[in-house]
A and B are shown apart, each in its own frame.
Chain A
């Protein structure tokens, strides 16, 4: 029910800014307030870990990479500007940690992601409200399907649909142009839907 009141408040004009409170926190963290950095950690580490787990596809490696991300963040706090969003900044660091980790771990061939997306949408079932429920098994399938995406494309899609970054922020994190971000996310979506089609709408047993 908390959700419903939140939704209602949003609709009646409560401030929806997700940077609410972050600026002051950031300022305090930058000036060396350890409690502020701890708050940043508590708030953002689950998302950072999930992002890294989805990229690395390895939970233990994600543990280590999450720590490394926050160690780096801690040493770079002073580089942050007031207008930066802590979440996307951290995910940007996490992405670098992931890229380095991938290089260090050596061979990591991405699953081929052939572009046959054009016909895909025509045969996809349309999800119904019943499909919205995600049980344990489906959650596993979803993670698996995400893992099938090309790594870069997967990262961009996750930044959008899991971590709520704006397209511009994703462009900054990925080092891509805005049109490329939109294009890659679109392709990732089509590919993901193709993977999940058997589990929604009429396709679901």
Chain B
């Protein structure tokens, strides 16, 4: 039975695996060129999707007022908001939760080493696979963010308008 499963690598990056499963998948990926390659692509995909989401401009149709106007003409009971406060109250929590969902994208960015490519046999450093802890993670993510002056990895789920 093959132990190379893209969905498991994906679950690893998403932080969805139980500790023992995560350890098993990491251990396998460390010694498997194909899985290292797939992980590098998955990190890229997640990172790119997150950045793409952050780039989306605000849409006029996404205003609640427009929706309210439409709801007012629906046969269902219309939404009438008695109070307007608090709609952003949960953003902090959401941002954190969303960051958790994609945190692994940033956890193990390898330092240096540009231009890797060509074959799937190309060896990757251990750092690519294993999130060694807060320090390593912050170093790698911070170095990259410092270079571009922006937070690279955020979740598409928190694509704040006007960002």
Interface residues of A (CB under 8 A from B): 1-4, 6-12, 14, 16-18, 20-22, 25, 32, 34-35, 37-39, 41-43, 45-47, 49-50, 59, 62-64, 66-67, 70-71, 74-75, 87, 121-122, 124-134, 136, 138-139, 142-143, 160-164, 166-167, 182, 185-186, 189, 192-193, 200-203
Contact = CB atoms under 8 A, between A and B. Distances in A.
Q: Determine chain B's interface SS by DSSP, over half rule.
A: helix
Interface residues of B, number: 98
A34 B96 contact: no
Contact of A39 (B46, B76, B90, B133): B90
A139 B100 contact: no
Contact of B103 (A6, A34, A160): A6
Interface of B: 5-7, 10-11, 14-16, 34, 36-38, 40-49, 51-53, 55-56, 59-62, 64, 66-67, 70-71, 74, 76-77, 79-91, 93-103, 106-107, 109-111, 113-120, 122, 124, 133-134, 137-138, 140-142, 144-145, 148, 151-157, 159-161
B106 to A, nearest CB: 6
Contacts of A20: 93, 97
**Which 9 interchain pairs have the tightest Cβ spacing?**
A201-B117, A63-B61, A16-B100, A125-B117, A6-B99, A18-B97, A202-B117, A34-B81, A134-B51
